[in-house]
């Protein structure tokens, strides 16, 4: 039996600003004195060597020069990277009780190519035009149809001309963002410096003089088009560099009498910067594995049933590895152990023994989905985020565990490795782990049985409330509820079908009741390390809910990561390649 923080947090909303990426450590400054404060990511990397910062700047003018220089160095580094970029957007409408609430939503997932021009290859669209450079002219970019490229553009202030010829910089003040002391500057485009220039504020950290946050928009605004406002955050995940990680965008005015038609809020997340390098490491790792003797050979030859299970294991391993390579599945980590503990609780109390162990992994994407392949259960980051407590997590996992127990996951076609050979962008076209409606119903029935006999049986009220809230919000959140690999929570008409039997019992859903938290906003549970894709639980103190508008179930909220400097031994950084760590 586990005691998990979720139980304590069950009736308390996780705050909106909880995406701190690293533990707070400040020992770095001592080490920085003995070495150039800016280092290469690795000797073998194709990124050009950044010029080390020589002496501390004496004036704000020099700080600006260094910040401009560092911005161009960052662009050079990222030229060899193709991180994933995900944008989830909620269009808003006014609600008398809850303020601005989602009326519909959109979802984009793609791979950024930061080479010559910013390009975005989409995971979701089969439309070839997505493959082409979407950065035609600025006028086309930020129209009402939310070109996804528009959101990923905001990772830099100005890719082309970020310099003193095009911009004026005005020093404002010093300010701490998390643990990091920053110089704050207002940035304005010079007169007649061209269209689509950055207009806003930058925060420059005071050791290596990298930009760590950008907040503003682009100007001048072209006719019939919008430039979105953005708040763009970077994280210090490798020595000397701050990598774009989160962008929050919001438009709309809900004050009385406003005629603003465009109203939305959107979260853009970037991760998978180190995916290419991971693949190279795997090549080296396989040599070590080959040299290990297979002890099991001496024991016995496999029986036909054992061979069948071995074959299924191979299929499962292939799929898990391929999803990891595509940047869709987090590497194994501590969150998996939490998930597996819940699975074990369900299995032990139901006396279930399986010939192969059950594993649980985290999908890195936002849409609420689960799927299982072989004995591996995957659950999306977005779904974990919105679950209010452990019993709801048990409900979600029990459904996939039921598929495993009922033998629904026998498709072993992925044991043939040629079926893994496709581009990362084509993952969603090549993989799919959907079950038939009959299997879904059978899994729900079995899951209910598992839950009833489990330690969660007395806590099904919160599960009931979660499903009621999901059912109520589902019509407005179809993009969030569209699964890409597994089955949907909802049916054709947007009605909730997954585990719907649990909705018939339990308390009434009372949106106005402040102590009833049926579902959480997105982003409150898990944080992803954008460099190596490791996930960990957010460590946030509960924040008191003051009005019903604070609940924001399933909604996106601004990012406010607690910034810290890279620290070689920190838990999120230990899995990056050894050569990215500072020399001691
Ligand atoms: Zn299912």
Token pair of 531, please? 């460099």
Q: What is the mean pLDDT of residues 512-518?
A: 88
**Ligand 1 centre from 173 Cα, in Å?**
54
- CA 367/CA 70 separation, integer angstroms: 35
Per-residue pLDDT at 582 = 35
Question: How many angstroms does the Cα of residue 89 sit away from the middle of ligand 1?
Answer: 26
Cα 435 to middle of ligand 1, angstroms: 6
User: Residue 372 Cα, ligand 1 centroid: separation in angstroms?
Assistant: 8
Looking only at the bridges linking them, the beta strands covering 359-363 and 376-380 are parallel
Q: Does the predicted model carry a pTM greater than 0.85?
A: no
Strands 119-122 and 99-113: antiparallel
Residue 181: what are its φ and ψ, rounded to 5°?
A: -80, 135
Omega before 220 within 30 of 0, i.e. cis? yes
- Whether the pLDDT of residue 572 is over 70: the answer is no
pLDDT at residue 292 greater than cutoff 70:
no
Which residue would you say has higher pLDDT here, 122 or 582? 122
Q: Which one, of 15, 16, 17, lies nearest residue 178 by Cα?
A: 17
Distance from chain centroid for Cα 409: 27
Q: Provide mean pLDDT across the span 7-16.
A: 27
Instruction: Give the DSSP per-residue string, 336-399.
Output: HHHHHHHHHHHHHHTT---SS--EEEEE-SSS--EEEETTEEEEEHHHHHH--SHHHHHHHHHH
Instruction: Give residue 526 CA to ligand 1 midpoint distance, Å.
Output: 23
- Higher per-residue confidence, 124 vs 196: 196
Mean pLDDT on 491-507: 90
CA 443 to centroid of ligand 1, rounded, Å:
6
Ligand 1 centroid distance, CA of 481 (Å): 14
CA distance 302 to 313: 14
- Tally Cβ neighbours within 10 Å of residue 227: 24
Q: How far is the CA of 377 from the centre of ligand 1 (A)?
A: 11
**Does residue 169 have a pLDDT over 60?**
yes
| Among the listed residues 461, 465, 494, the one whose alpha carbon sits nearest the alpha carbon of residue 479 | 494
What is the C-alpha to C-alpha distance for residues 405 and 407, in angstroms, rounded to an integer?
A: 5
Report pLDDT digits (tens) over 90-131: 998 888 888 888 999 988 888 877 765 555 556 665 443 333
At 223, is the pLDDT very low, low, confident or very high (cuts 50, 70, 90)? Answer: low
pLDDT at 22: 31
Give residue 399 CA to ligand 1 midpoint distance, Å.
6
Least confident of 33-37, 206-210, 246-250, 401-405: 33-37
Determine the distance separating the centroid of ligand 1 and the alpha carbon of 54, expressed in angstroms. Answer: 58
Ligand 1 centroid from CA 436, angstroms? 8
What residue has token string 């499903």?
A: 467
Question: Cα(275) to centroid of ligand 1, in Å?
Answer: 30
**Distance between Cα 425 and ligand 1 center (Å):** 24
| Ranges 144-153, 297-306, 492-501: which has the least confidence | 144-153
Residue 350 Cα to ligand 1 middle (Å): 20
| Cα 402 to middle of ligand 1, angstroms | 8
Q: How far apart are CA 36 and CA 240, in angstroms?
A: 9
| 331 CA → ligand 1 middle, Å | 23
Q: How far is the CA of 108 from the centre of ligand 1 (A)?
A: 24
pLDDT above 90 covers what percent of the chain?
45
Tell me the CA–centroid distance for residue 471 and ligand 1, in Å: 17
Cα separation of 433 and 109, whole Å? 19
Residue-wise pLDDT tens digits, 305-343: 888 888 888 889 989 998 999 899 999 999 999 999 999
Q: How far is the CA of 442 from the centre of ligand 1 (A)?
A: 9
Q: How remote is the CA of residue 446 from the centroid of ligand 1, in Å?
A: 11
Mean pLDDT of 21-49: 37
Whole-number Å distance, alpha carbon 327 to ligand 1 midpoint, is 23
> What's the 396 CA to ligand 1 centre distance in angstroms?
10
Question: What would the two tokens of residue 219 be?
Answer: 């100007």
Residue 84 has pLDDT above 70, yes or no: yes
Give the containing element (helix H, strand E) for 180: strand 180-189
DSSP state letter for 269: E
State residue 571's pLDDT score: 37
CA 403 to ligand 1 center in whole angstroms:
7
Residue by residue, DSSP assigns 29-50 as HHHHHTS-SS--S-TT-SSPPP
């Amino acid at each position: 039996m586990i005691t998990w923080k979720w139980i304590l947090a069950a009736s308390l909303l996780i705050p909106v600003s909880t995406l701190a990426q690293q533990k707070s450590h400040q020992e770095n400054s001592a080490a920085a004195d003995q070495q150039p404060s800016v280092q290469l990511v690795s000797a073998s990397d194709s990124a050009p060597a950044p010029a080390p910062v020589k002496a501390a700047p004496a004036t704000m003018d020099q700080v600006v020069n260094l910040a401009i220089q560092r911005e161009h160095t960052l662009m050079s580094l990222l030229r060899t990277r193709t991180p994933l970029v995900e944008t989830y957007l909620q269009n808003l409408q006014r609600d008398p009780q809850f303020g601005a609430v989602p009326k519909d939503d959109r979802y984009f997932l793609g791979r950024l190519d930061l080479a010559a021009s910013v390009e975005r290859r989409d995971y979701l669209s089969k439309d070839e035009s997505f493959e082409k450079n979407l950065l035609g002219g600025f006028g086309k970019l930020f129209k009402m149809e939310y070109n996804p490229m528009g959101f990923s553009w905001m990772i830099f202030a100005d890719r082309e001309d970020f310099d003193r010829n095009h911009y004026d910089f005005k020093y404002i003040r010093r300010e701490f963002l998390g643990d990091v002391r920053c110089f704050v500057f207002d940035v304005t485009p010079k007169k007649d410096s061209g269209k689509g220039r950055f207009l806003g504020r930058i925060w420059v950290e005071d050791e290596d003089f990298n930009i760590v946050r950008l907040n503003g928009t682009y100007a001048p605004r072209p006719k019939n088009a919008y430039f979105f406002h953005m708040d763009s955050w970077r994280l210090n995940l490798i020595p000397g560099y701050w990598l774009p990680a989160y962008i929050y965008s919001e438009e709309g005015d809900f004050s009385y009498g406003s005629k603003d038609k465009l109203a939305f809020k959107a979260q853009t997340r970037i991760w998978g910067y180190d995916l290419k390098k991971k693949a190279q490491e795997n090549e080296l790792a396989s040599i070590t594995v080959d040299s290990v003797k297979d002890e099991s050979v001496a024991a016995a030859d496999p029986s036909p049933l054992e061979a069948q299970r071995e074959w299924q294991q191979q299929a499962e391993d292939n799929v898990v590895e391929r999803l990891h390579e595509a940047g869709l599945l987090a590497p194994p980590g501590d969150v998996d152990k939490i998930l597996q503990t819940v699975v074990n609780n369900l299995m032990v109390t139901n006396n279930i023994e399986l010939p192969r162990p059950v594993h649980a992994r985290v999908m890195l994407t936002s849409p609420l989905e689960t799927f299982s392949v072989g004995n591996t259960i995957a659950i999306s980051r977005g779904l974990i985020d919105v679950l209010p407590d452990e019993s709801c997590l048990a409900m979600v996992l029990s459904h996939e565990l039921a598929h495993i127990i009922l033998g629904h996951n026998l498709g072993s076609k992925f044991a043939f490795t040629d079926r893994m050979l496709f581009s990362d962008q084509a993952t969603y076209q090549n993989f799919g782990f959907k079950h038939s409606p009959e299997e879904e119903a059978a899994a729900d029935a079995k899951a209910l049985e598992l839950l009833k006999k489990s330690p969660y049986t007395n806590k099904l009220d919160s599960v009931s409330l979660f499903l009621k809230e999901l059912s109520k919000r589902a019509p407005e959140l179809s993009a969030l509820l569209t699964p890409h690999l597994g089955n949907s929570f909802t049916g054709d008409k947007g009605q909730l079908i997954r585990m719907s039997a649990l909705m018939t019992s339990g308390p009434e859903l009372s949106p106005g009741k402040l102590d009833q938290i049926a579902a959480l906003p997105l982003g409150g549970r898990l944080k992803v390390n954008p460099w190596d894709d490791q996930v960990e639980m957010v460590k946030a103190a509960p924040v008191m809910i003051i009005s019903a508008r604070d609940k924001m179930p399933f909604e996106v909220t601004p990012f406010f990561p607690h910034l810290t400097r890279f620290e070689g031994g920190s838990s999120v950084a230990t899995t990056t390649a050894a050569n990215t760590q500072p020399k001691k």
